[in-house]
Every structure is written in structure tokens, then in C-alpha cells.
């Protein structure tokens, strides 16, 4: 056996990328989350060749100070948390400082950014894990990150990708999830020049649901809301006659993060009770708001799963609110104007 030694930075980043950057949709998720964390109100995602040639995310967020750009590519470097207290009070989508270094370890990355106070933009390019170019550039306010040649140095990962259409639909799904969590952000996604998703960004969740599903489905949905000691919930749900054959059509958003949570999904179905046929599931979206202290988002590499305190209180609330709402008489659907 050889002696224990520390791995070179690029290799360590490649290992981290193995967990965080699984496929093109992971790049889309990480970059759009960064844009949203930078308070962008408009985020445009441009894809070419199912993400293998190009994934570009353009935002109008606060940008990065020139001097800090190289740090953004260092593992565990983040502007989002400082100490242990912050780790248990996560208010942002990112906090581990892993995405940019991971992406740059398995792809070529060009970042262009400009803050409101900067006189020019700044361009920084990492190719083959090395800085290939850096310096001032003309530029609009905000940040553009362009990722090219994804997985050029990890052939196994490339091979394991699904059909281009499947990878593309996973990217659309990722954008849909973020759009439902952030109705106040105008999101667009295009592939080879064709627009696949476009949300208005006016804060209206029902209009986002019209984009994610279709206008008729969204119009027929019913708004609900409720609260208990620790939780506030609200959202839209479909009437029992409008269902699908899988649970995955009811988005669960916890403090604006799309998550998978069986207890919550189950509580939703329980709220419908016998109104649902066996094997049928409702469509909709639920926002769950709670003190970040009560949720651990640091249990999954892609933060797709979370751990909740007071889960019993939450599932009871959800079941109750949904059952009450479906018992109501004025289930008159709203007309959706200006779509
Ligand atoms: P994290 O999001 O966990 O902090 P990342 O590797 O995704 O880690 O990003 C590192 C840092 O780079 C962020 O903390 C942020 O300060 C900065 N950054 C990344 N993307 C953007 C962006 N689109 N706009 C502004 N700042 C960004
Ligand atoms: Mg991030």
C-alpha cells in the first residue's frame, strides 16, 4: 500500500462532482439556484445539444465582485453562510460552496459578471481545470455562466446519461420545480433555439401551474391555505376528478425548495380521502413555510430530501386543510386572464 496523501484539488473536485453533478439537469439546477440566490428576477437558460454542447444561464442578479470571482471556484468557498448558526438557519438555496468547483472539474466554464458598482464586466474562464482566461470585458449587470463540453473527462458519466430527450425533459422538470418555488422570478428555458418553458415572473403561482401543466388544468385548481403552531401552508390543488397515476404531480416546496417527502405527499392524499380512486393522485403545489431551524436541508447531496421536525403537526395540518377545502361548496374555478 502507498502512503496516505491529500488528493490534488482537481481530483477532489471531480470526486465531489460525482455526487452533485450527476447529469445536465444538475448543472441547470445549481446555476439557476445561484441566480435566484443572487436575487435575480429574470433567469434565462439556453441549452444546446441536450446540454452536452452548452448550458448557459443568464441572470440579472447582483453579480460577483471581480476580486472574488476566483474564490467562487474554490471548494467550500461561499458567500452564503459564515458559521454554525447560519448552517442551521439556511435561507438560501446554496450554502456548501460546491457547485462551481464541481462543474469546473467536469466541464469548461466561462463566467462573466458585473455588479451594480463595477465599471466594467469581468470574464473568467476555466478549461481543463485550469484558468484559461481572465480580465475585464464589456457586460451587462448580472452574471452569465456558460458550461461547455460537460463530462469531457469523465467518460463513464457520459455513457450513463439517458437518451437526449430524457435528459432534456429532466432539465425542463428542474426548471418547472424552480418556477413553482419562485413565481416571482421570470424563468425561460430554450433548447437549440426553441423555447420550452417561459414563466411570467409576476408572483402568481397559478400562472406558473398553467405553464407547468396546462391552462385548463390550472384554471380548475382550487387555492388553499392554513397554519398551525410551527407551519404555514398554501397552494393550489386539483379537484378529485382531475388526477394522475403518480404522486409526482403534486409539488412539495419547503421554504421555497422543491423536495421529495413521502409523509407530506401521503398527507395530501389522506386529505382527499375516499374522493380519490385507488392508484390516482392529485395535481398541485404546496408551499410549506417554517422556521429554518426546524428543517435540515443538509442530508442529501443534491438537497432533494430534507428532514423535518414536528412532522406529525405538519401532516395533520395538511390533511385537515385539504379535507376542509374539498368539503367547501364554492369550488368555482378561477378564470386565468393574461396568459
Ligand atoms: P454556493 O451556492 O453553495 O455558495 P457555488 O459554488 O454554487 O456555492 O457558488 C459559489 C459562490 O459564487 C456563491 O456563494 C456566490 O457568492 C457566487 N455566485 C455563484 N453564482 C452566482 C451568480 N449567478 N450571481 C452572483 N453570485 C454568484
Ligand atoms: Mg450554488
Provide CB contacts within 8 A for 250, sequence distance 6+.
237, 265, 268, 281, 282, 283, 284, 285, 286
Name the packing angle between helices 262-272 and 311-327 (round to 10°).
30
Our mutation pick for probing the ligand 1 site, out of 16, 26, 37, counting the most ligand atoms within 8 A of Cβ, is: 37
CATH for the stretch 213-327: 3.30.230.10
Domain with CATH 3.30.565.10 in the chain: 9-198
Q: pLDDT tens string for the chain (339 positions)?
A: 789 999 999 999 998 888 899 999 999 999 999 999 999 999 999 999 999 999 999 999 999 999 999 999 999 999 999 999 999 899 999 999 999 999 999 999 999 999 999 999 999 999 999 999 999 999 899 999 999 999 999 999 999 999 999 999 999 999 999 999 999 999 999 999 999 999 999 999 999 999 999 999 999 999 999 999 999 999 999 999 899 999 889 999 999 999 999 999 999 999 999 999 989 999 999 999 999 999 999 889 888 999 999 999 999 999 999 999 999 745 555 566 544
Distance 64 CA to ligand 2 centre (A): 13
Our mutation pick for probing the ligand 1 site, out of 39, 55, 72, counting the most ligand atoms within 8 A of Cβ, is: 72
Distance 72 CA to ligand 1 centre (A): 6
CATH for the stretch 9-198: 3.30.565.10
Question: Ligand 1 pocket by C-beta < 6 Å: which residues?
Answer: 30, 34-35, 38, 59, 61-64, 72, 78-80, 94-100, 143
How far apart are the C-alpha atoms of 321 and 231, rounded to whole Å?
Answer: 12
Distance 283 CA to ligand 2 centre (A): 29
Domain with CATH 3.30.230.10 in the chain: 213-327
- Cell output for 30: 445549481
Give ipTM to 2 decimals: 0.99
Distance 256 CA to ligand 1 centre (A): 18
For residue 208, which of 227, 195, 221 has the smallest C-alpha distance? Answer: 221
Ligand 1, atom 20, lies closest to the CA of 34
Neighbours of 88 (CB within 10 A): 15
How far apart are the C-alpha atoms of 97 and 82, rounded to whole Å?
Answer: 12
Amino acid at each position: 500500500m502507498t502512503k496516505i496523501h491529500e488528493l490534488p484539488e482537481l481530483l477532489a473536485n471531480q470526486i465531489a462532482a460525482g455526487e452533485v453533478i450527476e447529469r445536465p439537469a444538475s448543472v441547470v439546477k445549481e446555476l439557476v439556484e445561484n441566480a435566484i440566490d443572487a436575487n435575480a428576477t429574470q433567469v434565462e437558460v439556453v441549452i444546446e445539444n441536450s446540454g452536452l454542447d452548452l448550458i448557459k444561464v443568464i441572470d440579472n442578479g447582483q453579480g460577483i465582485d471581480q476580486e472574488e470571482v476566483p474564490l467562487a471556484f474554490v471548494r467550500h468557498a461561499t458567500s452564503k453562510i459564515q458559521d454554525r448558526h447560519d448552517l442551521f438557519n439556511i435561507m438560501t438555496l446554496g450554502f456548501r460552496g460546491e457547485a462551481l468547483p464541481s462543474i469546473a472539474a467536469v466541464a469548461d466554464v466561462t463566467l462573466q459578471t458585473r455588479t451594480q458598482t463595477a465599471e466594467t464586466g469581468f470574464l473568467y474562464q476555466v478549461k481543463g481545470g485550469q484558468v484559461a482566461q481572465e480580465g475585464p470585458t464589456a457586460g451587462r449587470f448580472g452574471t452569465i455562466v456558460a458550461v461547455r463540453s460537460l463530462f469531457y473527462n469523465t467518460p463513464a458519466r457520459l455513457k450513463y446519461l439517458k437518451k437526449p430527450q430524457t435528459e432534456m425533459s429532466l432539465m425542463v422538470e428542474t426548471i418547472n420545480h424552480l418556477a413553482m418555488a419562485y413565481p416571482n422570478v421570470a424563468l425561460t428555458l430554450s433548447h437549440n433555439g426553441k423555447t420550452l418553458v417561459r414563466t411570467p415572473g409576476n408572483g402568481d403561482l397559478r400562472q406558473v401551474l398553467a405553464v407547468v401543466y396546462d391552462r385548463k388544468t390550472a384554471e380548475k385548481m382550487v387555492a388553499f391555505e392554513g397554519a398551525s403552531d410551527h407551519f404555514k401552508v398554501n397552494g393550489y390543488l386539483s379537484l378529485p376528478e382531475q388526477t394522475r397515476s403518480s404522486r409526482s404531480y403534486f409539488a412539495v416546496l419547503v421554504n421555497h425548495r422543491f423536495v421529495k417527502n413521502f409523509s407530506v405527499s401521503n398527507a395530501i392524499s389522506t386529505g382527499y380521502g375516499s374522493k380519490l380512486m385507488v392508484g390516482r393522485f392529485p395535481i398541485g403545489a404546496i408551499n410549506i413555510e417554517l422556521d429554518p431551524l426546524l428543517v435540515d436541508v443538509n442530508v442529501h447531496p443534491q438537497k432533494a430530501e430534507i428532514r423535518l421536525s414536528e412532522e406529525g403537526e405538519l401532516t395533520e395540518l395538511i390533511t385537515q386543510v385539504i379535507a376542509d377545502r374539498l368539503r367547501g361548496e364554492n369550488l368555482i374555478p378561477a378564470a386565468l386572464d393574461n396568459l
